[in-house]
A and B are shown apart, each in its own frame.
Chain A
Amino acid sequence: MSPVRVRFYATFRPIVGGKFADLPVPDEATLGDLLDEILTRWPELREHLVGADGGFSKRANLFVGGRAARFLPAGLATPLEAGQEIDCFPAVAGG
């Protein structure tokens, strides 16, 4: 599969050193596989992306087509598609 572009925002940008990264993923990879690749490349993101229970953090967000992974029917088991862009956000809010 062609690389998946992951866009990073806010406090994640200084950690990854840029606004986005093109990450290689195998055929039939899932969003969870991509998360593993992100955590392998940037271990500092683990405390932000992984909750105390070992699951995906309740505060961070991985968006696929503007929908948070936690609200997709298959969650992190959602298959990735070629040319897809993923958004990776820390907790953000304001007013």
Chain B
Amino acid sequence: MSVTPVRSNNRVEPAPVAQSKPIIAIDHVSQRFQTKARRDHLALSNISLAVEEGAFVSILGPSGCGKSTLLYIVGGFVSPTEGTATMKGQPIKGPGPERGPVFQEFALFPWKTVLGNVMYGPRQQGVKMVEAEAKARALIEMVGLKGYENFYPKELSGGMKQRVALARTLAYHPEVLLMDEPFGALDAHTRTRLQNDLLNIWERDRKTVLFVTHSVEEAVFLSDKVVMMTRSPGRIRQVIDIDLPRPRRRDELLLDPRYQKYIVDIERMFDDSGDVELPS
């Protein structure tokens, strides 16, 4: 499960290209909503996208482009008006533990402690109490919250809450992580720390991640692939492979002209279309 990246000549061998079928396939998906004024609103228009197993894919676009809706469709929380979404060839009909969401709003269970929240998923799946607790404690330590096991969500800062939410989702071993602007509600400093930590955790076991964001830098820093979307109605504008070595370190990347070029190129593309939304 865990692949230790091999460093050679300060570069990492690219992860083996998945020859198998994509783990997630979105096929000609459109989504319409009825607005309050009874007007038909087209949120997503004819989206097709394949996500390879083990890839970190960001969906990048301006506010209101339907990028979160696309994630909810993959999560099974919303069913598309047209088109299909499949996981490993099976149509997605509803939420399931193989696709674990992490929301911008954290959505922790406030009546449960940190430990209780992280144990919730394993317990739901019938893991024995002792085992679930040991697993939860290890995860809490991994996300850097050792010592906070018995705190309630209300006692935690936003960054800590999001760490708990990540641990809670990782605890039930989803095959795909669905992250919906997870760091969008955090201040810049906290956000940077969580990006670094997420990358460290991800580089250990390389789960498939679908990551929604409106920050160009965040998308380039984290991803193997950036899916650029257009302003409403959301269409895929371009898919860009981010060919940067892993494990990535922020200080190294910030000095790396290739990293800078990706960011500048993507921002220019958004500029050209008037879809400008600079990272916060």
A and B held together in a complex: no
